A and B are shown apart, each in its own frame.
Chain A
Amino acid sequence: MALEQTHVRRAAHLARLDVSDDQASDFVDDLSQILAMVDQLQSVDTEGVDPLYHPLDATQRLRADEVTEADQRERFQRCAPAVEDGLYLVPRVVE
């Protein structure tokens, strides 16, 4: 599956990465090489083989419905770039 510049552009947009034209063409070269290697997977016969999403066949443990976390806003917001009145600030979002 050949990789085009539009694929890289689209991925960069979905991943919210600002990528210049020069960078984009470098990424096309790098990613094309990597995907060419990845394409070897297509030659494996996986008929009837289920995907393995976790290496162990474990199941989800459930947590009791209890409030265990106290307010730590001050501590958490110490590493925030911009806050006001306890709110995280982002550029004005127009709905």
Chain B
Amino acid sequence: MSDHTVTSLAAALKNGDASSRELTSDYLKRIERAEPTLNSFISVTAEQALAGADAADKARAEGRGGYLTGVPLALKDNFCTQGVKTTCGSKMLDNFIAPYSATLVEKLDAAGSISLGKTNMDEFAMGSSSESSFYGAIKNPWDLSAVPGGSSGGSAAAVAAGLVPAAMGTDTGGSIRQPAAFCGITGLKPTYGRVSRYGIIAYASSLDQAGPMARTAEDCAHLMTAIAGHDARDSTSADRAVPDYAGELDAPLAGLKIGLPQEYFGDGLDPEVESAVRDAVKVFEALGATVRDVSLPHTRYATSAYYVIAPAEASSNLSRFDGVRFGHRCDTPDDLLDLYQRSRAEGFGDEVKRRILIGTHTLSEGFFDAYYTKAQRVRRLIRQDFLDAYNEVDVLMGPTSPTPAFNLGAQKDPLSMYLQDIYTIAVNLAGIPAISVPAGLSNGRPVGLQILGSHFAEAQLLNVAHRFQQATDWHQQRPAFAKEIV
């Protein structure tokens, strides 16, 4: 099972070599065996999944199946799923059965895929290690003493361990790409607005974007076809046609112009990560691409700008969790103020509180211009760096993360954790798409190559990543843990 991809399962279902019920039950068994160790799921929805699988098999038998009909996958636990507990990894929503489904969930349902459950994550998607979940830390299947990355760590670990062939994640500052890199899988953060945000519990509205996490770029292409597109319920959703992602996978790379941002190869970059990335670039040269250095001069300010903008938006987005209409409510509040203060203090974990406090402080009177407005000005400069670079080259490449997966508990203070995202954050600020693909191993831990494209260039990124995966086998490497689950 652990060798299957979305593409191979779709083919098996189509050819009648397997039924969705068989696949679904097999994966559910794997989940059951692996979970006590990994902790990559918050909820497993076996019953709904099996019912969905039967319906999918019936649809296929009646000739009504689409590409994804009957393919099992998982959803990060910040996608609202009607009738299913949706917690965002927080005690605040431990009792929240979502009364409606996110657009992405509806689209996947319409495409016929089967959700096996909701994956564990950093609380409210705030984190880079998946250690801040109310439901406990997640382990990296490559090395159980390592983190899987975050915040979509459950989705990444589950795919890497072969508990599902693919999972949905969200990415606000690297939360799809960094765990994909740490777990040796492929993860795409689409252009801001390409995938609807409706029904995704917001962290930072102007940065959040959902995307696929799977073993191959080809899988990601098929999943993108299902989830991308305009949504009338999301004002920030892009109203433009969705290209045929799978159809463009095989385009030759001859003449592709690759830029290497110097700023992505500086101090703090692990030498083994650097050499893996430079080796990967050589593969592209062999495929006919040309490579040159470029500069993104404002890169060093990206983390600073991000830690103003994201917490500011979050502080406001998370105000709705007040113990009145849903979510955690403290016992016997004295008055309204007490209800708010205790419900929120009890419901949110420390990292969430930290970001609410930073955001509240930087938006408050006397600080707003110096922090918030300033950060948004710098954000324009950061985006301009990319726009300028894309005048010269087609795609940019660099490491996804400065190091391979670090050990559980290794990042002691918030700031050192934040600095893990230095190569991924600017992408969200600029709204461009980027993909992380497996490109090597360092002491048994995967290394990710990040490929960055211009706005709405997902098809190109998937094409570039797919050609790389045709020429390499890093994406086919499996952790021993995955092989041991029978």
Determine direct contact between A and B, CB below 8 Å: yes
- Is B411 an interface residue, CB under 8 A from the partner? no
- Asked if A30 and B354 make an inter-chain contact with CB atoms under 8 angstroms apart, the answer reads yes
The answer on a CB contact under 8 Å between A15 and B371 is no
Query: Which residues from A are CB-within-8-Å of B96?
Result: 79
B176 CB → nearest A CB, Å: 16
In chain A between 14 and 59, which residues have their CB closer than 8 angstroms to a CB of chain B?
A: 14-19, 27, 30-31, 33-35, 37-42, 44, 46, 49-56, 58
Task: Tell me which of B238, B323, B338 contacts A58 (CB under 8 A).
Answer: B238
Known contacts A15-B356, A79-B96; is A55 also within 8 Å of B308 by CB? no
Q: How far is the CA of A17 from the CA of B343 in the complex (A)?
A: 8
* Contact residues on A (Cβ < 8 Å of other chain), bracket: 35 or more
Interface contact B206-A41, CB-CB below 8 Å: no
Residues in chain B near residue A81, CB distance under 8 A: 323-324, 326-327, 329
B215 within 8 A of A: no
Task: Tell me if B336 is interfacial: C-beta within 8 Å of chain A.
Answer: yes
Nearest chain A residue, comparing its CB with the CB of B232? A63
CB < 8 Å: which of B191, B206, B301, B377 contacts A50?
Answer: B377
Q: Are A11 and B415 in contact (CB under 8 A)?
A: no
Determine the distance from Cα of A33 to Cα of B417 in the docked complex, in whole angstroms.
12
A8 partner residues in chain B, CB cutoff 8 A = 357, 361
Interface bits A53-84 vs B (CB < 8 Å: 1, else 0): 11110101101000000001001101111100
Name the contact of B206 in the complex, choosing from A16, A40, A54 (C-beta under 8 A). A54
**Residue in A31, A42, A50 whose Cβ sees the most chain B Cβ within 10 Å:** A31
Could you tell me if A11 and B235 are in contact, using CB atoms closer than 8 angstroms? no
Q: Is the CB of B414 within 8 A of A34?
A: yes
Establish whether residues A56 and B431, one from each chain, have CB atoms under 8 Å apart when the complex forms.
yes
Q: Shortest Cβ distance from A73 into chain B, in angstroms?
A: 10
**Chain B nearest CB: distance from A79 CB in Å?**
4
Whole-angstrom distance between the Cβ of A56 and the nearest chain B Cβ: 6
B431 touches A55 (CB 8 A): yes
Question: Of A14, A61, A72, which is within 8 A of B235 by CB?
Answer: A61
Among B207, B353, B381, contact of A49 (Cβ-Cβ < 8 Å): B381
Q: Which residues of A contact B267 (CB under 8 A)?
A: none
B413:A41 contact, CB within 8 angstroms: no
Instruction: Decide: B307 and A27 in contact? CB cutoff 8 A.
Output: no
- Contact assessment for A42 and B337 in the assembled complex, using a CB-CB cutoff below 8 Å: no
Tell whether, in the assembled complex, residue B323 and residue A41 are in contact, meaning their CB atoms are under 8 Å apart.
Answer: no
- Evaluate contact between B431 and A27: CB separation under 8 angstroms: no
State whether A16 touches B99 (Cβ < 8 A): no
Answer whether A90 and B374 are a contact pair too, CB < 8 Å, given A41-B304, A79-B95.
Answer: no
Q: Is B307 a contact of A37 with CB atoms below 8 Å?
A: yes
Contact among B191, B305, B455 with A41 in the assembled complex (CB-CB below 8 Å): B305
Q: List 6 A-B contacts (CB under 8 A).
A: A3-B361, A18-B341, A33-B415, A34-B415, A55-B428, A81-B326
